[in-house]
Structure 1
């Protein structure tokens, strides 16, 4: 089973590119599951979403903890007979935590949960992220201040040092071509 992860700052194109990847494999006749976190169908995903809507220091701790539990619950689901599983969001929630705790949690993730060579960090400057988010009606996450985006991006890039980091400031087609090239190279090694 191919396990693909897409993560990155708000507005970096995670949803768009995960759907393009899904559609590519569906067109090849493969069975694909796409999971986005926080999930809408699990109790921890709902709690994470609720914590993201609220403000305050306690919710900045609760949101990533619930998110982590949501991800663990999702990762433990059996995906028998599936060719490709795509997870949207895997790392960024940990970057909201203080860096020593984020590193510990990331170590736990990579020690006990699925990892693969198909892990993509869709990078975007905090300023561009703010531009892309402006005017969005579903402004639900508490971490949408420029200072927070700068801090979180720096920590996330430090944690994602072995991932494929893709600059998403270009067009959707340019970014997807770069992702496709990496995926095709990895797929050819597995065949």
Structure 2
């Protein structure tokens, strides 16, 4: 494509060089510029040498100077393409690594939450078992204390009955009345029963 464009450009330049004398002659016929008088032998020689030098310069530039520049541009384009491909591949790998990291983080979070839930359930179960054991021990102690209180109360009531009976017998005797201890004991039992109710 570049060679075709270069050939077309050189053909265009050659056509312009061929048409240039005709334009100049037309300008001279009208009394135009003195630089374009083709009747002067020096001007024709200068024009010929201009075409020869331009052709040589064009040949040197297109054959020796432009190919290395083209190679540099092609190498640069290839390097840029390789860098872009590498960047795309690296970006794809980074995106994949980010997805894997997010998946692993989500799995670890779910596992940690499950472990925390299991630990809480185990701790709650253990606490409930301890509370139930403590409640059972406390219930046993309360039952034992209540039995002790009931026994003490029964013993105290028995002792109170005896003391009340003896006191009543002594008071009645002080008054000077003779009473039967069994009758007084029955009256004391009756009074204690009413007070307990």
TM-score of the pair, normalised by structure 2: 0.18
Higher relative contact order (CA 8 A, sep 6+): 1
- Structure with max Cα Rg: 2
TM-score of the pair, normalised by structure 1: 0.18
**Higher strand content, 1 or 2:** 1
**Higher helix content, 1 or 2:** 2
